[in-house]
Chain A
């Protein structure tokens, strides 16, 4: 023992040192750090789970959005189609209206023209009667006084036929 340097005092001192170190290290180093490590493990696990959940939620949200978007697109397409349809109908209507208007204007114009013609014819008839009468009177003198009425009508009807 003496040759190997074993000294009871030193041995007991070293044993106290070891016991002191076990106490000190477990109190101030091991326990706090192991608690911290397990706490951290727990937190990391939690946050990973949280992240998974959020990711799932996001995927679901995106799917929902896609569905929603498709619906909206469809709706827009149908609205557009409707609008086009309506526009076509309206266009047709407008064209028809315009055509009818044109027809009407044409008809009016024709009616006016006919009316004018009639008026002119009537006027002419009046003037022609008097002109014929005058001309005939000039040519024949008073000869015709008795039955000139009949003559006038005759000539007028002939005129009308030529017309």
Chain B
């Protein structure tokens, strides 16, 4: 009974907030972009908001990438530049992060840890910082207004965006009618360019370490004509799966982070009071989890690539289950 009453009261409060506050603060139009939007086009012209007709686009995810780089530089400056034998303050934290991940990498492959660790740890730090910046309040909601009049002239979606409640009433910090908000910050991991770059480098490094450790013997797992036609086919499938890894690395990260942002935006759009909170907490978890998954998978694939042909199949399937 008590639980039922509590639920009823919560629903009543929710309904009052939804209808009452909804009148005062009507919702803005939902705007979701799969692409990272361009803020400025270098040597080119803006087209539809967030896109460059020509020239090099400085996208919001590129801006965030630079911020992540700066954060990492700050981490070096305050955490490792004057590293003391007896750690103090921020050095403790940096040591904890690097040391924990290093111990884990040693657990994965003790022999080759010195080769595998730099990229895997860089990926970990880069992804986790990217994801967390994307979750920060303001990322995705504070930005510049770009007109879509030109696009409308070319038969774009101008009609659809015309009814902007805030804009029509001249609210502060809102775009004029005929303009679209392009956020300044966007999680780099919610931009396929960044995840694809990471995936490409990861897979190239995996092949490089495999070739370096096993020599031409490494290629036997892809072009196996010694053990009969069955293994030739399996080798071909392995070759395809190696290429697919680029895509799976890139889209796993992009999909998780972008989907998380979409979920939060949609929930905030539907019912912005309290409802997004548990999802926000879940997205924080996902943000950390994806960084771990990417770096650990990289470590495991690198370790598998450097091991001789026999007996690597089981590990492959085990790791691919992620």
Contact = CB atoms under 8 A, between A and B. Distances in A.
Given A13-B62, A30-B118, A18 B197 contact: yes
Interface string B59-75: 10010010001001101
B122 A21 contact: yes
B185 to A, nearest CB: 16
Q: Which interface residue of A22, A33, A37, A40 has the most chain B CB atoms within 10 A?
A: A33
A21 B66 CA distance: 11
B3 to A, nearest CB: 46
Given A10-B59, A17-B65, A5 B122 contact: no
Interface string B106-128: 00000000000111011101100
A33 B85 contact: no
A121 B46 CA distance: 168
B286 interface: no
B289 interface: no
A22 to B, nearest CB: 5
A13 B196 CA distance: 12
Nearest to A13: B62
Contacts of A3: 34-35
Interface string A79-118: 0000000000000000000000000000000000000000
Contacts of A22: 118-119, 122
A83 B194 CA distance: 97
Give the bracket for the number of chain B residues in contact with chain A. Answer: 35 or more
Main secondary structure of the interface of A (DSSP, over half): helix
A5 B197 contact: no
A26 B197 contact: no
A21 B62 contact: no
Contacts, number: 111
B175 interface: no
A34 interface: yes
B201 A18 contact: yes
Given A5-B192, A7-B57, A9-B56, A25 B197 contact: no
Contacts of B36: 5, 10
Interface stretch (B11-19, B92-100, B141-149, B219-227): B92-100
Prevailing SS type, chain B contact patch: helix
Contacts of B261: none
Contacts of B34: 3-5
**Which residue, of B34, B65, B69, B193, has the highest number of chain A Cβ atoms within 10 A?**
B193
A18 B85 contact: no
Contact of B193 (A11, A20, A34, A43): A11
B192 A28 contact: no
B35 A4 contact: yes
B200 A15 contact: yes
Contact of A29 (B57, B62, B94, B193): B94
B121 A10 contact: no
B121 A40 contact: no
Contacts of B139: none
Given A18-B126, A30-B118, 13 more contacts: A10-B59, A10-B62, A10-B191, A15-B200, A18-B198, A22-B118, A25-B121, A25-B125, A26-B118, A28-B81, A29-B80, A34-B99, A37-B99
Interface of B: 33-36, 56-57, 59, 62, 65, 69, 72-73, 75-76, 79-81, 83, 85, 94-95, 98-99, 102, 117-119, 121-123, 125-126, 188, 191-194, 196-198, 200-201
